[in-house]
Structure 1
């Protein structure tokens, strides 16, 4: 057995040594997975919006929610793969998913990578971190349920704020700096507002035109109102599920100070097999979140193989084994328990 690492650097080297042959993305897997997810997403919405059978409608809606969530989750992979590793995938994803859902890849590119900067993780400069375990249970519940409003937020951004920002420079800066990032830290401001890429401008314009097209077609009666409302409901439930997954992705214990690599890893969570449902509520490799923080460039389709190797090769006292949770509900229950201040004094929150 491999000896346990004494620090995060050592654990990272061990992990890379065990998984270095798994670091190359498979473009065929990316395309096939995304296309099937998109087909199930739109198929589920269409069936749910047109059937008169309640059971079929609910089943189709559930398929639509899970497929939309999976398709949208590829935005995370786009921040970690190069264009030459999956040719055309970034454009294809934006055309089929990002623009129709008014959540283009620009909203994660240049943002998520900051979350992986070792000196920023868990600090006030991290766009994807808040000390959520310090929240009250009521505030934590508010953080969870506000995700249901995400569809309204992206419509407001695309249909109103983006077009206005092209004629109001000060608004454009605010849209780029604060309203063009998928983040949970309300104080985060993008640092690349003055280096906006041409493709990001194109994505913004595409979302603007798409939103006006859908709104206009609905007003004109070309799009059935039931279909639009069904689509919004499916989108809202998918973002709610993602918000629940977000709460289970870390332990959220840091109060803003810099963390060691060990502390960063132990604040992150894997929900590996034998839990099967984690593949649904944490799709596209998100159930291996702690492993992802060790090896951010490891493609999602190889995370399971890498985890199996590490779990078998690393010693029982390796901190790698301490990053796993049994499932979504145990992780959420633990977070709400700690948020409620019910952690015994001799057992500090993880």
Structure 2
């Protein structure tokens, strides 16, 4: 890969703002905000988890197609989505010993039952790597603004089949891979990373990771077997499995919408500087309560996250307010703001159509929407 900056046709005023922007100055303005408070993580996750479980259960006695049952289902969707989003924080702070218990707790209570164990998001570090962000080695990025609008539409349609992915990956391919090396290589290359780019090739587990990954895979397999047994013996109603599939698909669709609004996707598959990454990413500072539904756990301030990936989510709002107050009014950071979700989606569609009319679209690629992608970016 050539080592050059991405060839993005920024407007002259944006180029000047980028040249004037100081990452060091921004970092100094955020002093004291980089220490994660585990009590906040535990309280937020466990409360969200309790709401998710209670509302999911309530759909049964309320009736799935009644107004009350529908409301309970929607509450479970957004509570589950918030729980999912913590995998993003876990990926960023996995090197901190203070996160070990939270990582394990999240995985046992949520990741494995949802068939998205934490190791499947270990690829997220590449999305923040200066040399890899926006390139073919970034699992969570496609240059959508330079691709056909149909590619973005696919990202909204494919989540409907994602409830089948976990059972297939862990219930079918996993046990076969334990005995067939070729299948095992295929499994880790193609089915072990949360990604939107199907061309992305995942890595094999390192020697010190192999046992841990296998244990997580085995736990998912046991969970699938337990659910099938419970359904077959009448312990749980088969309708609950359908409800889980509907829940998973709905969360995945919402996350795909969030993903489309999280970046401008202007990259040309070459490396970007930290400032370019920030400018290619979007902040949604308005409508905070609504934003916490479709972009939970800090994901609505995504440009801030790409500027300061070591910042814990519970300090995002304070950090954003400091930067807005202390940086110049024409700062590049201010240019990452979007009026809202619809405006961001409209801008992406306009960029894509513009390239389509100009005949400058990149070759088609095969996207695949997932929950944690991003949730997790």
The match for 1:259 is 272
Residues 1:264 and 1:87: Cα distance change in structure 2 (over 3 Å): closer
Residues 63-98 of structure 1: CA distance to partner in whole angstroms, max 9, x if unpaired? Answer: 100000000110000011144223510110001110
Partner residue of 2:83?
71
Sort the Cα spacing of 1:83 and 1:137 in 2 relative to 1 into closer, same or farther, 3 A.
Answer: same
1:183 is the counterpart of 2:192: no
Question: Is the CA contact 2:29–2:322 (under 8 Å) kept in the aligned structure 1?
Answer: yes
Q: TM-score, normalised by structure 2?
A: 0.86
Give how far 1:342 is off.
7.7
Select which of 86, 90, 96 maps to 2:109. 96
Structure 1: runs of 5+ lacking an equivalent: 346-350
Q: Which moved more, 1:142-151 or 1:158-167?
A: 142-151
The Cα of 1:192 is off from its aligned counterpart by: 4.1
Secondary structure of 1:45's counterpart equals helix
Contact 2:48/2:80, CA 8 A, preserved across alignment: yes
Q: After the TM superposition, which of the residue ranges 165-174 and 83-92 deviates more from structure 2?
A: 83-92
Q: Does 1:13 align with 2:24?
A: yes
Is the Cα–Cα contact under 8 Å of residues 41 and 64 in structure 1 kept in the other structure?
yes
Q: Does 1:49 align with 2:64?
A: no
The structural deviation recorded for 1:260 is: 3.1
Q: Deviations over 1:255-298 (max 9, x none)?
A: 21222333211101111134431111000110111111111110
**1:348 aligned partner:** none
Task: Quote the Cα distance in structure 2 between the aligned partners of 1:86 and 1:164.
Answer: 33
Give the distance between the partners of 2:355 and 2:265, measured in 1 at CA. 16
Other-structure match for 1:59: 71
8 A Cα contact 2:292 2:300, kept in partner? yes
The one of 26, 45, 50 aligned to 1:39: 50
Aligned-pair distance for 1:112? 0.1
Pairwise CA RMSD: 2.1
Structure having greater relative contact order (Cα 8 Å, sep ≥ 6):
2
* 1:236 corresponding residue in structure 2: 249
Report the Cα distance in structure 2 between the residues aligned to 1:60 and 1:10, rounded to whole angstroms: 46
Match of 1:121 in 2: 133
Unaligned runs of 5+ in 2: 1-14, 359-377
Q: CA separation of 1:336/1:197 partners in 2, compared to 1, >3 Å: closer, same or farther?
A: same
User: 128, 134, 152: which is aligned to 2:164?
Assistant: 152
